[in-house]
Chains A and B, each alone.
Chain A
Amino acid sequence: MAERAQDEGLELLQGTLDVLILKTLSWGPRHGYAVARWLLDTSGEVLRVEEGALYPALHRLEGRGWIESEWGLSENNRRAKYYQLTVRGRQQLRVKAKTWGQYAAAVARVLSAEKQSA
């Protein structure tokens, strides 16, 4: 079941990935692999982030100054690039999360609407 969900993982909209990354980093610095891993685990293996999309997104967010990076040692003593939120990134996260919540609620309302009220 888990494997199936992974294969048919929902396509992530551009912008959605950004807010997910920011949220992931809001608990502290992580490297890219950990971000992907955490998203997969937390979403119950539903949200599978394409590696081909993750890294450009990380670099883009860094370019915008929402996150910053530093090289450090990983759990298994490998050199890894750690990302963490900046002050501006945290503000962005608040704004984006709120927008996303409203958006998701709106989509949910539409999808669950009764026929007569349409």
Chain B
Amino acid sequence: MPRLPGVRRFFRLPSTERDVSAAVDDELAFHVDMLTEHLVSRGRSPAEARREALERFGDLAELRRRCYDISTHHEAAVRRTESWTNIWQDVKYAARSLRRAPGFSLVVLLTLALGIGATTAMFSVVRGVLLRPLPYPEAERVVRIVPGGPTVDQGYVSTTELEDWTRELTKFSAVGGYRQWETGQVYGDGAEPIYVNTTHVSAGFFPALGTRAELGHTFLPSEHVIGSNHAVVVSNAFWQSQLGGEPQAIGQTIRLGGEPFTVVGVMPPEFAFPSAGAAVWLPSSLLGEDDVGAGREARWMNVVARLRPDATPAQGRAEVERLLNRLAAAYPKSNASWTTANVESVRDFIVGPVRRGLFVLLGAVALVLLVVCVNVASLMLVRGTARERELALRAAIGAGRGRLVRLLLTESLMLAVVGGVLGVLAAWWGVHALLALSGSFLPRSADIRVDGGVLMFAVAISLLTGALFGLWPALRASGTTAAGGLREDSRASIGSGGANRARAALVAAEVALAVVLVVGAGLMLRSFERLTSADPGFRAENVLLARFSFPDPPADAPPGFRGERRQRVVSRVALVPGVLDVGATKIAPLTGGTAGESVPFSVPGRQTQESEEPHVFLAPATPGYLHAMGIPLLAGQDIDASSGDSTSGPVAVISRRMAERIWPGQSAIGKTFEFFEIPVRVIGVAGDVRSTRLDSISGFTAYVPDRMMPRNAMSLVVRTAGDPMRMAEPVRAAIREVMPRMAFQEVVPFRNKLSEAASTPRFFTVLVAIFGVVALVLAAVGLYGVVSYTVRQREREMAVRLALGAAPSRVTTLMLRQGMMPVLLGLAIGLVAAFAATRVMRSLLFEVSATDPLTYLGVALLLAAVALVASYLPSRRAARVHPAMTLRAE
């Protein structure tokens, strides 16, 4: 039969998919050859036959192309299907084998969900608070400038000084002053007026932050001019809740503190400066001498500024300090001690206080995730060893090592993925729980949510954990040789030495990680216990707190008007049945302010020393305030109705700390100190109070008669016979009898304030404690699993020992010793690691050292005890082996 070489060459056209194209060519060539042969057999000449055969095909190139297209399409589909089929097979197989071990699968899934969920939830918080960009354009250039000095750290500037700064500073493109008030402003004229969180801002404030209004505009220069400055910028939340969320709100007039203001701008929802609650911003020029004092000494504003693009914070700081030194030289009386400045990024200002704590939590939760991985890995290892025969069988019928690893890894990844899905659900719930637990202290909590980024994180750590806990056991288990694994006696063997060492290493690692977490939890718990049992200096039980603010007095009010109306309210509330004691001050302890108004003071005939606190917190107190608040009078007498009147002159009850530091070794009673050149006579000494934070005693405090400084703001404290909340309505009504339509900031039991003050440490403590408990439980479960497994594996050996006359207790001890060896190793490693790791927590601890020996000892004993129980329970089974039955079963 003649060959027809031309045909083949004709079909060998260039192609991309070599195989498919060659196959099409071969197929068509074959047909042409066959047809040619057929025609030749019918009597045609070979050349004629070939021409006719080719003619039958018509446009051969076109046909070839069509076949090629159909086939490549098909090829690709086949290849896709094949690889999917393979993966699907693995997945089906993995699912089947996991279903056959429901206990194992359930434990692993719950453990993973716990670890991934906790980590994801914690990451959501860290991402929202620390990682998400701040909502200001080029936020890294926005800084806070905090002036201070060797003896002052208040950080405020006066109106005059802010003007100097704005004029003189060249490294900043904008310098703005602001002050957020604890008391806020009464909004509205309705039956129930409300308090809104108010911030007064200077002209440079909005330019420094750089955020534009969402509707309308931020203050124009003209809106800062006295006379035309009744303008207000409102927050998005305020606009939504109070102004109906309509664009027509711009230009509308609202009433604040009884005066009309025009709404000029609505800020975007993410704008929350200086704090999340900020509701309205007013021009600072509204506040005059009467409100904030006059001159350079009247420091009342914080400063926020925007660095020029070419300036560094260090350059900015140097320039501010040069200016401060010039001012100190020019105005020594007011500025001598204000010569240094801190320039901190606004990010540090907002999240600085919680950064350390959140990173510690993230670290702790990462350790929990590691414990989870180790725990699951040891469970997988135990299971892997138990499956040796199955894997050996697979190897024997031709599965390669890669194939076995893939099979086992699929199983791990499947567990990880399902665990991850459960974990995300847990995280979603966990974030809500975290937010509820954090109360209001966490900055930027509005930015915390489970979003795409968080989900990506969850997917990433799920896969990572899957690979982490799955790879090692998979490699180990697949290393089993077909011959070794299938040997008849393999079931009775006690496992290879390598496998035993691997399990012991995992147990040790798990115990070590648990020790670190439990030590951290122990330290936090001890610190929290110290903190909450520390004496705040007052008694909060059965005390009702009412906070409100009087309106500005009318212009023609007689002197003493402010003091008298305050006293009238206190006297009226004292008449309410069930009220035991009542008193008032400007701002009660732990309600968000300092101990009082900070003023510089001096003692006649005494040289002030560098190291001294040159400021005293002045707090107004009505007669009976100290008594109602439960602040003990240690010496001298309390403020009474006649204190501070024309005959007694200015008097004060001072704090113990002040008395002991200023007049050490002598009685302070009858001594005199001065502020603003007013001599004040000390009539009594009271106990120290923790006014701002539970972990520190306030600075020098002087309680002066309320009539000496009758402010608008009032904290009324009412000691009641029973449940304070039962008195809330009667007290409210009594106050309104004196001051109709008074708006209340809050009327709450005072113990709420104590609880709120502990919310930050409580948040960190509760979380670290939870992580510690989880680690402890996981370690116990892991140890129990490993020891049970070992006992089962050595049943035969134990049976032999028992048959040869070993006492059952000896057999138990043997197993126990084997279980406890890695525990002790892990314990030792963990204690050393904890010693190193807990140092990062030092700033979170109150009156407890990060190396507190009692905690370390306690944790060591606790873990040893838990481990002993976890390994004793399965070890006991070893002694109960029935020798005859076990041996016969083999």
Contacts and interface: CB of A to CB of B under 8 A. Distances in A.
A63 interface: yes
Contact of B57 (A33, A51, A81): A51
Contact of A63 (B23, B56, B74): B74
Given A52-B57, A59-B67, A78 B30 contact: yes
A100 interface: no
Contacts of A36: 31
A82 to B, nearest CB: 10
Contact of B59 (A52, A79, A81): A52
Nearest to B55: A51
A55 B33 contact: no
B77 A52 contact: no
Interface residues of B, number: 24
B30 A79 contact: yes
Which interface residue of B1, B38, B57 has the most chain A CB atoms within 10 A?
A: B57
B17 to A, nearest CB: 14
14 contacts: A33-B34, A51-B58, A51-B63, A52-B58, A52-B62, A52-B63, A55-B31, A55-B63, A55-B67, A56-B63, A62-B74, A74-B30, A79-B30, A80-B30
Contacts of B74: 59, 62-63
Given A33-B31, A56-B63, 18 more contacts: A32-B30, A32-B31, A36-B31, A37-B38, A50-B56, A51-B31, A51-B58, A52-B57, A52-B63, A55-B27, A55-B28, A56-B70, A63-B73, A63-B74, A63-B77, A79-B30, A80-B30, A81-B30
B480 interface: no
A88 interface: no
B26 A33 contact: no
A33 B330 CA distance: 110
Nearest to B57: A51
Contacts of B35: 33, 51
A23 interface: no
B58 A79 contact: no
Interface string A54-71: 011001101100000001
A59 B63 CA distance: 11
B661 interface: no
A99 B845 CA distance: 85
A78 B29 CA distance: 11
Nearest to A35: B31
B627 to A, nearest CB: 93
B66 A81 contact: no
Contact of B66 (A31, A37, A50, A56): A56
Contacts of B27: 31-32, 55, 80-81
A37 B56 CA distance: 14
A40 B58 CA distance: 19
A71 B62 CA distance: 24
Please list the 9 inter-chain residue pairs (A to B) with the smallest Cβ-Cβ separation, ordered nearest first: A59-B70, A63-B74, A33-B34, A52-B58, A81-B27, A33-B31, A51-B57, A56-B66, A55-B67
Interface residues of A, number: 21
B672 interface: no
A59 B59 CA distance: 18
Interface in B695-714: none
A88 B67 CA distance: 22
B71 interface: yes
Nearest to B1: A76
B18 to A, nearest CB: 16
B30 A51 contact: no
A81 B26 contact: yes
A76 B1 CA distance: 10
B26 A79 contact: yes
Interface in B51-69: 56-59, 62-63, 66-67
B58 A50 contact: yes
Interface string A5-43: 000000000000000000000000001110011000000
Contacts of B1: 76
Contacts of A80: 27, 30
Nearest to B27: A81
A33 B66 contact: no
Contacts of A63: 70-71, 73-74, 77
Contacts of A76: 1
Nearest to A59: B70
Contacts of A60: 70
A50 B70 CA distance: 18
A74 B37 CA distance: 14
Contacts of A74: 30, 34
B33 A78 contact: yes
Interface string B67-107: 10011011001000000000000000000000000000000
A71 B640 CA distance: 112
A100 B816 CA distance: 80
